[in-house]
Homo-oligomer: A and B are copies of this chain.
Amino acid sequence: MKGRRVSAKPTISDVAARAGVSKGLVSLALNDKPGVASATRLRILQAVEDLGFRASHAARALSSSKTGTLGLVLARRPEMLRADPFFPPFIAGLEQVIAPIGMALMLRFVSDVREEKQAYTELANGRVDGVFVTDLRQADPRPSLLAELRLPAVSLNRPSEDSRIPAVCLDDLPGVRTALDHLIALGHRRIAHVGGPQEYLHADRRRSAWAETLSAAGLPPGSWVESDFTAAGGARATAELLDAPHPPTAILYASDLMAVSGMAEAHRRGLSVPGDLSIVGFDDAELSAHLHPPLTTVRTDAFAWGQASASAMVALLGGGVVTDVQLPSASFILRGSTAPPP
């Protein structure tokens, strides 16, 4: 027999039949579109309720060519991802704005550029409506790839090259400048830097802000080493800096993780922090405020960044003209790991 199978999910046709209207009307009512008499609308909504109807995403995606999902592809080595304090709150911020409007996030982890390209290509193929571009790199291939793929995108900060991708910007510089000004005011003259891979725009920018602030203050160029955002890397870089003939009295790190392992390296050498060596991190990780001494650092609001990025994406997909958004800059968090030089 052709009757309603016992436990099959109700379809829009079932709703239409029960409400005594056509499928088309049900569709209009469900999507809050105009042109449905309110009595009819009520009847339809009642039928939806009675049947426990929920529209199929797949069907909706096919006929409207909107998936209701957004993509985030993360290209990083596992160790770098492991302790990254940025993405959890960033994603939470995204979710806070997209979940209420029925959208969801698709996540991809990739380990090299080839996989990355493939991931975007697959996502562009009817899996997502748009993607967030994070961790901008030098000569980043993604803006042009995404343009080619015609995949809407929102980027975190502005890519170096021109592109039509709207950007949600958050300036790290004020935070690191304030940190350095504080160190300089304390009397430090040899302030070193442990940076992230300079391939990343943000790592490069933090390093140049450091260099420029030193120079603006009339100090000689400081020493620095390019590290990799891992704990091991931070310790190694710190050792290298401390082994130099004229070791620094303060070190600015591009991440809290590296700063903390750098602090441990200093302790291992019998140096006290901040007595013998001042340390400034970057990120304000969950742990940082609870260390001994608590870590002086620079904070970036990843949650707000997520919210703003998601809002920009929603506006973009809605066909709006999206202009760049500027978020409050990174801020300096003064805690206990900085003091006058010995």
What is the interface of chain A, defined by CB distance below 8 A to chain B? 54-59, 61-62, 65, 67, 69, 78-79, 81-85, 88-89, 91-92, 95, 99, 102, 104-110, 115, 119, 121-123, 125-127, 230-232, 234-235, 257, 260-261, 263-265, 267-268, 285-287, 289-292, 303
Contact, CB under 8 Å: B83 / A125: no
Shortest A164–chain B CB gap in Å is 17
| Cα of A81 to Cα of B302 in the assembled complex, Å | 13
Contact, CB under 8 Å: B82 / A88: yes
Contact, CB under 8 Å: A260 / B287: yes
Known contacts being A62-B58, A88-B81, A125-B56, is A264 close to B286, with CB within 8 Å? Answer: no
Contact, CB under 8 Å: B127 / A104: yes
Chain B residues whose C-beta falls within 8 Å of the C-beta of A92 in the assembled complex = 78, 81, 109
Q: Which of B89, B261, B291, B292 contacts A78 (CB 8 A)?
A: B89
Contact, CB under 8 Å: B268 / A126: no
Chain B residues whose C-beta falls within 8 Å of the C-beta of A290 in the assembled complex = 231-232, 234-235, 260-261, 264-265
26 A-B interface contacts by CB (under 8 A): A56-B62, A56-B125, A56-B126, A57-B125, A57-B126, A57-B127, A58-B65, A58-B126, A59-B62, A78-B92, A81-B92, A82-B285, A82-B286, A83-B85, A83-B286, A91-B107, A102-B122, A105-B106, A107-B107, A230-B286, A231-B287, A257-B287, A260-B290, A261-B287, A263-B292, A264-B290
- Beyond A56-B126, A58-B67, A92-B109, 19 additional pairs, beta carbon < 8 A: A54-B122, A56-B125, A69-B106, A78-B92, A78-B303, A83-B285, A95-B108, A104-B127, A105-B107, A106-B106, A231-B289, A232-B290, A257-B286, A260-B287, A260-B291, A261-B291, A264-B292, A268-B292, A287-B287
Chain B residues whose C-beta falls within 8 Å of the C-beta of A285 in the assembled complex = 82-83
Chain B residues whose C-beta falls within 8 Å of the C-beta of A235 in the assembled complex = 290
Chain B residues whose C-beta falls within 8 Å of the C-beta of A108 in the assembled complex = 95, 99, 104-105
Please give me the 4 A-B residue pairs with the lowest Cβ-Cβ distance, nearest first. Answer: A264-B292, A83-B286, A261-B290, A58-B61
| Cα of A31 to Cα of B105 in the assembled complex, Å | 27
Chain B residues whose C-beta falls within 8 Å of the C-beta of A231 in the assembled complex = 286-287, 289-290
| Cα of A54 to Cα of B106 in the assembled complex, Å | 19
| Cα of A286 to Cα of B230 in the assembled complex, Å | 8
| Cα of A82 to Cα of B301 in the assembled complex, Å | 13
Chain B residues whose C-beta falls within 8 Å of the C-beta of A110 in the assembled complex = 99
Contact, CB under 8 Å: B125 / A109: no
Shortest A237–chain B CB gap in Å is 12
Shortest A76–chain B CB gap in Å is 10
| Cα of A61 to Cα of B126 in the assembled complex, Å | 10
Chain B residues whose C-beta falls within 8 Å of the C-beta of A91 in the assembled complex = 107, 109
Shortest A334–chain B CB gap in Å is 18
Nearest residue, chain B, Cβ from A230? B286
